[in-house]
Structure 1
Amino acid sequence: MKIDLSGKHALVTGSTGGIGYGIAKRLAEAGAHVILNGRGADKVTSAVASLQNDFPEAEVSGVAADLATAEGCADVLAKAGPVDILINNAGIFGPKDFFEADDDLWQQYWDVNVMSGVRLSRALAPKMVENGWGRILFLGSESAFNIPADMIHYGVSKTAYVSLARGLAKRLAGTGVTVNSLLPGPTLSEGMTGGLDPAPGQSTEDAAKDFVMKNRPSSIIQRAATVEEVANMALYAVSPLSSATTGASLRVDGGVIDSI
């Protein structure tokens, strides 16, 4: 199965590292012109150089902007140019007890994890409709269904993203533009590995496996997924091969969500 995205322009938000960068790599490998995004100019420049080094023939550009604000979203839109594929990956996460999470924290998660995708999708979808083809993907999480007790604010924001994807898919019915959400589980990205505390002599992978079995015991693969495994599902979801897949919550959670 060969996926060819030649001639497509893909904007991947929050893509200077982690899952976002992994997805950007797969898109570049498939021939897309990839637009990277992050908050810091230095990180964006470094990520663009790294991706260009890995795929010398790829077209890669970058836009530094804070998508938590309407101004930041407008800046990305002004500099990104035409976009055929939008991957709303920018997001934040972190534990906080419900009774210690104040209004400012809830607002921060709503602005970053929800409104960034709302604003960019609202601006870019009309042109996709006009062209008769487009792909929008929202990075949700297994936490959208399996709400973590220590990160209720995060889980609620991801549930909202899944709902947003489903509703927008219905709104764009019959246009040739598909909209889906992707639900990763524990994944070996910098965000996860940075919080692990491996025992002496223990590998990161084994430490992550211990974390999964303790905190996500319903996992069927019984380990953390790799960034590449998540990126592979994202690549399919935004490819021409996924034309009959829309309004879906695509699980790449290792079986953590315990429902059929």
Structure 2
Amino acid sequence: MNIRYEVADKVATISLNRPEVANAQNGALLDELDAAWRRAADDDEVAVILLRAEGKHFSSGHDLKGDSSAPRPAKITLEMLYQSESRRYLEYSLRWRNVPKPSIAAVQGRCIAGGLLLCWPCDLIIAADDAQFSDPVVLMGIGGVEYHGHTWELGPRKAKEMLFTGQSISGVEAERFGMVNKVVPRAELDAEALALARQIAAMPAFGLRQAKRAVNQTLDIQGFYAAIQSVFDVHQTGHGNALSVNGYPVLVDLERMKAANR
């Protein structure tokens, strides 16, 4: 199983469970993850959703070695990429963001590119002191990952630095910029995140729902939703360029990507 799911004390804990590949995301993992989010959203016994990961790293992003959950077609078109990514990357992330129940991400180790699509939709982020966040997708000739929350999460200048250099920012830096709520020692991450989830779960459910709606609606009035949608289309022009140049959507120097995230 790519995902583990359990409920206790009104908290649904969803665990990424591909530690052997640093929780790289193939189609099967994302589909199972979306099903787990839906299950938690529909369960009246669940008040808070906690997303965590097994192993050393939260997520190394999309599985660039190939998605074994589905055979690769002989020809890849921009339309095919657009349809697939709009569902698994954009639609899923927006749906998780808009689940009325509070959600918390507990992040350790590397959170690279597609990993941001898992933690950014959560309402709160608790980071371990070894957490490193990055989006080196410019090395692919693409302006950033599909759910383009960078500017909202970090502010424009830090967002540009992350994208232009491909380098990672630490959990401590992310806390300073408001992307992360709290940084804790790695050994205490799960306990801290669960304690926070239980504290929130004790609050009135309707009040929590209204508080979340108020903040999300304010962001949407400021342009969050429209920006996410429009920048997804910008992202697709990167795929279009890659297809026209090389006939393949991923133009990336993996060694340079690894170097950027050391």
Normalised to the residue count of structure 2, the TM-score between the two structures is 0.31
Normalised to the residue count of structure 1, the TM-score between the two structures is 0.31
Flag the structure with higher helix content.
Answer: 2
